[in-house]
Amino acid sequence: MITEITVDDLPALEAGSQLTCSSAGSTHFDGALANIAELLRERGPVRMVGLDELDGDALCVAIGAIGGFGPMLELPPSGDEAVAAVRALEARLGRRVDAIVSLNASGPNAFAPVAAASALGLPLVDCDGMGRVLPLVSQTTYALAGLPIGPLAAVSLAGDVMVLDTSTARSELLLRSAMQAAGGFMLCATYPSTVDELAKCAIRGSTSRVVEAGRLLLGAPDRATLLAGLASVAGARVLGGGRVVELGHATRTVGARQYPAAPTSVVVAEPGPAGRMIRLEGQSEIFLAVVDGVVSAAVPDVLCLLDQREPHIVGLERVAVGNDVDVLVMPADPMWHSGAGLALAGPRAFGFPVEHPREEGAR
């Protein structure tokens, strides 16, 4: 059990955060991490707690950015953006926030809450609401349990602060427009909830898992150890592996334009005459793995590409024809496998008219 995040944990946090973020993969957020490291050096380690360690009526907000990774590369967040957001939200709620939870401890959103907790001097709760990256802020286990997304506050990298108080659906819509106008990135403080409310719907141990996975990616002496470690930490299994032979953006799914995500198809060809063809379909994130025409894995389970030479994830933002990769699949949190969970974030939610392999297996 990890009880604090220090500046020395940042490399592991960064490496581990790739695993459940098939869009960014190993994109390096050196600038953002340098700023957070500076923050942790100034303020000391961030205290990390379990939900059970806090009072039931303690107020938490979920910290996470919406928007793209490109803007973060061009303008690295300073790490203290959350202060303005949380203060604005506190003013709206008329109540101090007691702890920070993660919106989704994946990709850069794994370290944004760490920075927020540090800048605000609050404990970080070791949990999140997705266990992966999903395109909408409303695609969370928090929302699945009926927690409202707002009131919420958002801050742009130019310093604009916005507070929204409306329904979850309209919040999503308005937030997206603001995010685009702000240059494709906003840090948000959402789902203000008490510990008791979160207890029934948070995915626990998220940040710890990220750090553990990161340590494996950074330190495993060989590939077998790495894969065995990822299997035990995240339930990861290798679906197959080979060379990327096709990369395209032609797949348009029905209704998919409601998502702020771009379609990408990747085909991985296993070597040899009997090698299978693994087609991955996604919108920014990988959502579907079709092996020789059989839907073998699907969102909300996590799919990602692991480089066959280097221990890092090859993101859809960086993948190129000719890359040698393994396709990893990791089960989503059981909450996502419920009927309501699959309705919110299963393949059909993204316009892929197929059953999730689990539904099929259940027939």
Partner 1 sequence: MRIGVRLGASGAEAALAHSGQVLAAARRSDGGWRGLPALVRELAAAAPSTVDSVVWSVTELFEHALLAVGPRAPSPPPFTVLPAVPVASLLVLPRAPRALAHPSELVRSLVSWRGAVTGGHDLFGSELVPVDLDAAVRAATEARAAGLGTLTITATGASNSVAHEEAIAARLREEFPDLRIRLSGDAGGLGLLERDATTIINAALLTTAEDLIERCERVTAAVPGSPSCWFATGDGGRVSAKRLRSVPVRSLGSDAATVLTGSAVLTRRLDAHVVLAARGLISLGRVDAGLPMIAPDLAGKLSVRTVSPIPVLNVRGSAAEPALAAELRTLVGPRVVAAFDREGTEVADRLCADIPELVPMRSEANASAVGAACSEPSAWLDIVVPADTLEELQRQQHLAERQAMTLVAAAGAHPGSERVISSVATALAFLGRDVYRLHVRASSEPEGERA
Partner 2 sequence: MIRKDVVEQLSVAELVQFGPLGQAKVFAGEELDRQVAGVVLVAELEEIRQCEPHSAVVLHGTAAQGAWALESALRLAWERNASCVIAPADIAVGNPTAQLAERLRVPLFVVADPARHALELSAAVADTDAARARLTARCAVLFGERGTLRDIVGVINTEVPGVQVALIAEDGHVLAGRAAADQASGERRVEVHVPGPDGRPWARLVGQLAAWSPSWSLTVRTVLGLARAPLAACVGRAWLRPVQQSASDRVLLNQLLGENGDAEAARAAGWSVDGTHIAVFLQVREAADLEAAAPRVIAAWQEAFPHLPLIPRGEGWVSWWTGAEGPSALASLLRPYLSATRPLQLAAGVGLAGEGVPGLRRSVDEARLAAAVAGRRDGETVELFGALGPRAVLACIPVSDVAAAARVALADLLAAPDADVLLAALVALLDCAGSTGQAAARLGVHRNTVLSRIERIRARGVDLDSPEQRLALHLACYSLLSAH
Choices 20-28, 194-202, 289-297, 307-315; region in contact with partner 2 by CB under 8 A: 289-297
Cβ proximity to partner 2: between 27 and 323 the closer is 323
- DSSP per position, 105-123: -SGGGGTHHHHHHHHHT-P
Cβ proximity to partner 1: between 208 and 283 the closer is 283
Q: Return the one option of partner 2, partner 1, none that residue 31 interacts with (CB less than 5 to 8 A, by type).
A: partner 1
**350 touches partner 2 by CB under 8 A:** no
Q: Return the one option of partner 1, partner 2, none that residue 254 interacts with (CB less than 5 to 8 A, by type).
A: partner 2
CB of 355 to partner 2, least distance (A): 8
**248 touches partner 2 by CB under 8 A:** yes
Cβ proximity to partner 2: between 51 and 267 the closer is 267
CB of 264 to partner 2, least distance (A): 11
Shortest CA distance to 285 belongs to which of 269, 296, 301, 307?
A: 301
Q: Return the one option of partner 2, partner 1, none that residue 179 interacts with (CB less than 5 to 8 A, by type).
A: partner 1
Shortest CA distance to 195 belongs to which of 57, 83, 61, 300?
A: 57
Cβ proximity to partner 1: between 197 and 326 the closer is 326
Exactly one of 246, 271, 338, 343 binds partner 2 (CB under 8 A); that residue is: 246
Whether the Cβ atoms of residue 313 and residue 17 lie closer than 8 Å to each other: no
Exactly one of 158, 224, 294, 362 binds partner 2 (CB under 8 A); that residue is: 294
Q: Return the one option of partner 2, partner 1, none that residue 87 interacts with (CB less than 5 to 8 A, by type).
A: none
Q: What is the Cα–Cα distance from 239 to 58, expressed in whole angstroms? A: 42
Taken as a whole, the chain contains a residue count of: 363
- CA distances for 362 relative to 127, 279, 337, 352, 357, angstroms: 29, 24, 12, 19, 9
Binding site residues, partner 2, CB under 8 A: 245-246, 248, 250-254, 265, 267, 269, 277, 279, 281, 288, 290, 292-295, 351-355
